[in-house]
Amino acid sequence: MRKFSSLLLILLIGVIGVGCDSNDGQSDAEAFVGVWALTGVSDSEGDQLAAFGQAFSSVVLTNNADNSFTLVATPRQGSAITVPGTYSVNENTNTFTLTTPQAPLAFTYSYTSDNVVELQAGVTTSLLLDNLFGTSLEAPATITITRQ
């Protein structure tokens, strides 16, 4: 009986440990609030971070609690590109949408850790990102952002 009780306790601890993470009690929408920096870019052609690094010294997304955002891309030469707008998070479909004055940028998202999110862009959003950043991403494109 003692072995059974010990086994049950170990199993219970394992289930509780797997079922909990530090985002528990916080919705994905709440977790998106904050300052995020672009830390990875890839597309159907492979890793594109080096190409972004040659063109931009930083790309920072600031999401506010009132669902407004500011995206600031600082090029190595020239003036910063600042894009304001609103964002929405649909936890049922894991969709993160940045609504800009030009067009919405829709991504599916997945948290790879509490502070790292991968944003998957389809064809339309990849084309819009190309227009915004002057790049040539081939869909599907994956943007990795890390909380600052």
pLDDT, tens digit (0-9, with 9 covering 90-100), for 19-66: 444 455 789 999 999 999 999 999 999 999 998 899 999 999 999 999
Model confidence, pTM: 0.81
User: Yes or no: is domain 27-147 CATH 3.40.309.10?
Assistant: no
| 3-state class (DSSP) for residue 13 | helix
Instruction: Please report, for residues 32, 89, 111, 117, the alpha-carbon distance to residue 66 in angstroms, rounded to integers and kept in the order given.
Output: 12, 12, 21, 20
pLDDT for position 26: 87
What residue segments make up the domains of the chain, in order of their start?
A: 27-147
